[in-house]
Amino acid sequence: MRKHHYLGFIFCALLLTLSACAPQLTPEQIFANKIGILVDQVVAQQNAGVDSLAPVAVVSAAALQGEQVNRLEEYTTERLTMKLRQSREIYPLSRQNWFELREKQPLSFAGQAMEKRSYLNDLTVYRVATARDEVLKQIKVEVTASDAQGKTVPGLVVESEFDLNAELPAALQYQAKAKSNPIPEGVEERPYQSLDRLAYSLSRELVEAYHANVVGDPNAVNGDEVSVVLQSQAVNGSLNKKFLNRLENALQQAIVGNKGFSCAVSQQDFKPTFNQVDFYRKNRAEFAMDETLFQPGTVVLLAEAAPDKDGDKVGVSLRALWRVTPLETNKGELIATNLAGSYLSGFTAKGYLTTIQHASDGSVKVNKSTPKYTPEKQHGFE
């Protein structure tokens, strides 16, 4: 028995010696390892519950809710994105997707080619959220997932807890602001600073939608040059004509910058009706204009601008209709669907522009009075 006690003592002493010699991890290394384990658990659960070829997107829950994003949430999002990129395509959410995701609506992929659209219908969106628990003295990091229809992916929930100690990395990052703004540019919380950037972005969406819907259609008449008839209006007359002229000019320049596109800007505003069929019926004259302006393939682009209630940003919406083949039968009846030989586009895009950068020359006028311009809201982002 004494021999066994002696051997046990030697074994324990050896373990203590080895543990003493083992390198001690720093708090930063322990934190990084724990985030790594969290990310690995997400990927492991994903393989069981998500299509192995499905594209993915990773978003900050705080950003979706319009709240300040902390560095802990940003860091976890970055690590998860890097890990998923090893085996999946990372899909950058569009402004329209962002609107839909916040409202818990199914994601639409208008403007994408049909084969790409069906591929994106299998998209999985991961949300990274952080929370402080005062009772348990913990900081929690949680990752959940939803599909393109907005439905939660069952079983895919991973959570990790960190000590609330203010000197540890998790608590420090929880208190720190994110280094970058994860909200897509042009969304209400992050409006464009430049009218040219807004016009370029919206026009690119138009061009992509046009090619996705027209090119490849055996019945389409798609010439080498696509003419764009641009019409604009301010909602309730709340913006002056000078701003609308600047908007039209910016859109015109952005559109003609795309190969194969030209732009004819109308000098007279009209009130567009955004319903496709009603628009055609109420504005037949626009489609019956000089044939050189509206031949098959031509786009009628409708731009609508309206300020928000605070007057510090303007929302710009674009709607487009384009003609592929004759819009009427021989009897003068409307052909409203591409199945009948014509296509009336459902293209729509919306972006926001800060008015602060455009007030010095008086080009922005809200509610027929000069608004007070205050420093731009930062929404908690650096």
Which residues face 334 on adjacent strands?
A: 328
Residue type at position 49:
G
State yes or no: pLDDT of 136 exceeds 50: yes
In a domain, 180, yes or no: no
Q: Residue 362 — pLDDT band, cuts 50, 70, 90?
A: very low
In a domain, 260, yes or no: yes
In a domain, 3, yes or no: no
Contact 173, 188 (CB under 8 A): no
Contact 198, 351 (CB under 8 A): yes
Same domain, 232 and 344: yes
Same domain, 325 and 206: yes
| Residue 346 tokens, joined | 């459902």
In a domain, 363, yes or no: no
Same domain, 32 and 169: yes
Same domain, 235 and 299: yes
Same domain, 33 and 156: yes
Domain boundary among 112, 147, 175: 175
How many independent structural domains does the chain possess?
2
Give the pLDDT confidence score for residue 372 in this predicted structure: 33
Give the pLDDT confidence score for residue 128 in this predicted structure: 97
In a domain, 67, yes or no: yes
Range of the structural domain that residue 37 is part of? 24-175
Same domain, 131 and 216: no
Same domain, 128 and 253: no
Which residues face 296 on adjacent strands?
A: none
State yes or no: pLDDT of 192 exceeds 70: yes
Domain boundary among 115, 143, 175: 175
Domain boundary among 175, 205, 230: 175
Report which of residues 74 and 273 the model is more confident about: 74
Same domain, 200 and 346: yes
- Distance CA(164)–CA(216), nearest Å, equals 58
Same domain, 200 and 144: no
Phi-psi region of 257 (alpha: psi -120 to 50; beta: other; left: phi over 0): alpha
CA dihedral (322, 325, 293, 237) positive or negative: negative
In a domain, 285, yes or no: yes
Give the pLDDT confidence score for residue 310 in this predicted structure: 77
CATH of the domain at 276: 3.40.50
Highest mean pLDDT: which range of 8-22, 231-245, 365-379 = 231-245
Report which of residues 189 and 47 the model is more confident about: 189
Same domain, 60 and 103: yes
- Distance CA(139)–CA(160), nearest Å, equals 8
pLDDT digits (tens, 9 = 90+) for 283-314: 666 555 444 455 556 677 878 888 888 778 99
- Predicted TM-score of the model (pTM): 0.71
Same domain, 259 and 316: yes
Per-residue H/E/C for the chain: CHHHHHHHHHHHHHHHHHHHHCCCCCHHHHHHHHHHHHHHHHHHHHHHHCCCCCCEEEEEHHHHCCCCCEHHHHHHHHHHHHHHHCCCCECCCCHHHHHHHHCCCCCCCCCCCHHHHHHHCCCEEEEEEEEEECCCCEEEEEEEEEECCCCEEEEEEEEEEEECCCCCHHHHHHHCECCCCCCCCCECCECECCHHHHHHHHHHHHHHHHHHHHCCCCCCCCCCCEEEEEEEEEHHHCCCHHHHHHHHHHHHHHHHCCCCEEEEECCCCCCCCCCHHHHHHHCHHHHCCCCCCCCCCCEEEEEEEEECCCCCEEEEEEEEEECCCCCECCCCCECCCHHHCCCCCCCEEEEEEECHHHCCCCCCCECCECCCCCCCCCCCCC
Same domain, 34 and 142: yes
Q: Which residues of 46-56 are buried (b: 16+ CB within 10 A; e: fewer)?
A: beeebeeebbb
Q: Could you tell me whether strands 124-133 and 56-60 are parallel, antiparallel, or unpaired per DSSP bridges?
A: parallel
pLDDT digits (tens, 9 = 90+) for 249-283: 899 889 888 877 877 665 444 444 445 556 556 66
Q: Which residues of 80-103 are buried (b: 16+ CB within 10 A; e: fewer)?
A: bbebbeeebeebebbbbbbbbbbe
Q: Residue 209 — pLDDT band, cuts 50, 70, 90?
A: confident
Report which of residues 72 and 343 the model is more confident about: 72
Between the CA atoms of 168, 171, 173 and 176, what dihedral angle is there, to the nearest 10 degrees? -130
In a domain, 190, yes or no: no
In a domain, 37, yes or no: yes
